[in-house]
Structure 1
Amino acid sequence: MRVLHVITGLNAGGAEQWLWTLVGNSRHDNEVLALSEPGVLAEALCRTGVRVSCAGMRGNRDVLAAVGLVGRIRARRPDVVHTHLFRAQLYGALAARLAGVRTVVSTEHSLNRTRIEGRPTTRPGVRLLYRVGAACTDRTVAVSRPVADLLADGWTRADRTVVVPLGIDRQTFVFDPAARRRVRDRLGVPPDVPLVGGVGRLVPGKRFEVLLDAVAHLPGAHVVVAGAGPERDRLLRRAAHLGIAHRVHLPGEVAEPAPLLCAMDAFASPSAEETFGMAVLEALASGLPAVYVRCPALEGGPPVPGAVHVGPGTDELTAALRAALLRGPWARRPPPGLDRFDPAVAARTIDDLYDELVRGGGRGHGVRTGRGTRSNR
């Protein structure tokens, strides 16, 4: 079976990493079409033998490139088109239908209660455009139960939604002392200096300025945040204002976060709106204490040792990080409880979904909630 994945771009991020996971574990023939910039993950996908192309779309209003999607999709003759992220969910699903594709699937990675990919959900037209894309889609895959609940609140039909939680390949994140030394040498952080870290796009919703405020109250501690985005300069200015510029490291986006996690002594995710919380699970798999404001993957499940939930304020984050650093050094072994996020199950659940929809001519007969993950690289 030929599956064409259409995604907005392939810079390092949760949705893009998940796509890498999915195609790396799928039993079907997968190809990836990025609407805009290929990004660092395009190179990683190509190295694994996955075909990757770019539509060259310059923005949401690039109508010419959007129209060209129809021909690009028709030329590939896929059995299934699977879209990821808002722009691709709209243009990719519409183009797939116009190209005669009978089965269209979408994964919802970024819908929160107040925002979707940085856009307020109350902005005029956002919900309407989402519904247009959803009307062209046979199934929407929600990455967590909270996302499915939001989708049911007027975004798409509940009977066309299936929950497939993400997860991690724990072996990818096994602690590596040599990687710790290499990364710290590259950052200029001495071996005995506490290093707090975060991973994510440098956008307002990730609230990394709160992490900088917390580290300013942890004397001697350094902080590293891996990611790219429009908030980079503002974060650097804030670090200078706090007097900690020499303790702040922003290395840019990374395709493989595991070595950076090895260099850390504690992990923080100050974002108050997350659809899953992949970065928190990755940190835990690396044996780190992980302090977070929101991680739907852990909500409603058994407690995971090392996972520390805090409120959105700076004081709580500071106190939790101080306690984590004082308890170190940690054994750097993944805690029990992460085995329920099995990378093979997610791909099998999605592949089964493709099979059922194709056999049913595009609509299928309902799919059970599955449990899935992130990949073997």
Structure 2
Amino acid sequence: MRRGLHVITGLGVGGAERQLRALLRRLPLACDVVALTNPGPVAEELRRDGVRVGHLGMNGNRDPNALPRLARLIRRGRYDVVHTHLYRACVYGRVAARMAGVRAVVATEHSLGAHRIEGRALTPGVRALYLATERLGAATVAVSATVAGRLRDWGVPAGRIHLVPNGIEAGRFGFDPVARAAERARLGLPGGAVAVGGVGRLVPGKRFDALVRAVARLPREVWLVLAGEGPEREALRALAARLGAGERVVLAGARPDVRPLLSALDVFVSPSTEETFGLSVLEALAAGLPVLHAACPAVEELPRTAAPGARRVGPDADGLAAALRAELALGVRRLPVPQAVERYDIDEAARRLMRVYEDVHKEVCR
């Protein structure tokens, strides 16, 4: 194999996008990237890494001209393997790769929840389109055993499913007291503030509204910092104001690099019930933070002793508020980096993914 192409829906700041960049820095294969829409901040980061990034300029979810444009791009590139990421890119990318004559097509399923896929409700139509195009690929990568089980339940043949958990570069997330002081000043946190934080797109499925309600019930020294962008931003701001906690809720915007933010926080909370891996939870654990999560397969699929600083909690405001009170009663502290973090090494993820490419390429070339 000489060259690969990664097709992704967009390159804004998100878990799948950040994971793609981390993998491309380690894969022993020259790869290009094309985004269907929204090149975003991660596109610029990839270009700085030396990756060639294209933008298909797709116009909405239904753009019939996107297929021939993508097929031409794949054909011109003479790619040995095409790897698709996220629902829209998987649907269009698999079809376009076949149109271009590429059979070594791999898809990573990053966001298949129990009831939603990347914010879409799992209607019969969404599921049927997913399964129809999945058959055009050669392999589907699941980022967790939970996702692999859902794919099997949907009817994807077990032999086509490859488990390649996400990975992180744990050493990059270590606690930094200098960064903590600078970031807390930048965020406007008072000297005695206890900072609760969350990271993710500001969309209903992340359930940050429940976290805002929970923090509003806590003492005034407890502040909430949310890093991310999305359509719920103004609604969350208005909710905090209605609850009398507007000055204690900081909407920090998208953060391509969350390391300074994690050093600034005291507790990390992931209230989403639809997480399919939990990359932000692992990063918080690598920063030594206590973590409360409503769903995190990366932790839940390991023995309890692998992540003693992470605790599963109810996703509603009452459950989150009670869990935060109990956590804060233990005092502000930094924890040792747990075994769970070491389990998900980004270099091992890249090696496992490369083995998938090699196996698929051999199979289609027989």
TM-score normalized by structure 1?
0.93
Decide whether the 8 Å contact of 1:57 with 1:66 is kept in 2.
Answer: no
Percent of paired sites with the same residue: 51
Structure 2: gaps of 5 or more residues? none
Decide whether the 8 Å contact of 2:167 with 2:348 is kept in 1.
Answer: no
How do 1:149-168 residues align onto structure 2 when only pairs under 5 Å count?
149-168=149-168
Distance 1:362 1:102 in 2: 9
Decide whether the 8 Å contact of 1:174 with 1:333 is kept in 2.
Answer: no
How do 1:47-86 residues align onto structure 2 when only pairs under 5 Å count?
47-86=48-87
With over 3 angstroms needed to count, the CA separation of the structure-2 counterparts of 1:208 and 1:25, relative to structure 1, is: same
CA RMSD of aligned residues (A): 1.3
Question: Which amino acid in structure 1 is aligned with residue 150 of structure 2?
Answer: L
Distance 1:342 1:20 in 2: 15
Question: Which amino acid in structure 2 is aligned with residue 210 of structure 1?
Answer: A
How do 1:46-195 residues align onto structure 2 when only pairs under 5 Å count?
46-121=47-122, 123-195=123-195
Question: Which amino acid in structure 2 is aligned with residue 104 of structure 1?
Answer: V
Decide whether the 8 Å contact of 1:5 with 1:83 is kept in 2.
Answer: yes
1:326 aligns with 2:329: yes
Q: What displacement does 1:155 show? A: 4.8
Distance 2:101 2:83 in 1: 14
Q: What displacement does 1:291 show? A: 0.3
Could you tell me which residue of structure 2 aligns to residue 356 of structure 1?
359
Question: Which amino acid in structure 2 is aligned with residue 139 of structure 1?
Answer: A
Decide whether the 8 Å contact of 1:175 with 1:333 is kept in 2.
Answer: no
Question: Which amino acid in structure 2 is aligned with residue 115 of structure 1?
Answer: R
Partner SS state of residue 63, structure 1: coil
Distance 1:337 1:132 in 2: 36
1:171-202 C-alpha deviation (Å, 9 max, x unpaired): 11001111111211111102321110000011
Could you tell me which residue of structure 2 aligns to residue 205 of structure 1?
205
Partner SS state of residue 12, structure 1: coil
Could you tell me which residue of structure 1 aligns to residue 258 of structure 2?
257
Question: Which amino acid in structure 2 is aligned with residue 54 of structure 1?
Answer: H
1:289 aligns with 2:290: yes
Structure 1: gaps of 5 or more residues? 364-377
1:46-78 C-alpha deviation (Å, 9 max, x unpaired): 111111111011211121123211111111111
Could you tell me which residue of structure 2 aligns to residue 314 of structure 1?
317
Decide whether the 8 Å contact of 2:290 with 2:335 is kept in 1.
Answer: no
Distance 2:216 2:154 in 1: 42
Distance 2:155 2:262 in 1: 36
Partner SS state of residue 352, structure 2: helix
Distance 1:59 1:157 in 2: 31
Question: Which amino acid in structure 2 is aligned with residue 330 of structure 1?
Answer: R
Distance 1:227 1:66 in 2: 31
Distance 2:350 2:74 in 1: 23
Q: What displacement does 1:332 show? A: 4.8
Indicate the larger mover: 342-351 or 155-164.
155-164
Question: Which amino acid in structure 2 is aligned with residue 133 of structure 1?
Answer: T
TM-score normalized by structure 2?
0.96
Q: What displacement does 1:12 show? A: 0.8
Indicate the larger mover: 150-159 or 173-182.
150-159
- Which aligned runs of 4 or more in structure 1 are off by greater than 4 angstroms? none
Q: What displacement does 1:287 show? A: 0.5
Q: Number of residues paired by the alignment?
A: 362
Distance 1:139 1:170 in 2: 28
With over 3 angstroms needed to count, the CA separation of the structure-2 counterparts of 1:317 and 1:138, relative to structure 1, is: same
Q: What displacement does 1:362 show? A: 5.8
1:9-47 C-alpha deviation (Å, 9 max, x unpaired): 001111111111211111111111100010111111111
Q: What displacement does 1:157 show? A: 2.1
With over 3 angstroms needed to count, the CA separation of the structure-2 counterparts of 1:337 and 1:118, relative to structure 1, is: closer
Decide whether the 8 Å contact of 1:143 with 1:166 is kept in 2.
Answer: yes
Could you tell me which residue of structure 2 aligns to residue 375 of structure 1?
none
Question: Which amino acid in structure 2 is aligned with residue 48 of structure 1?
Answer: D
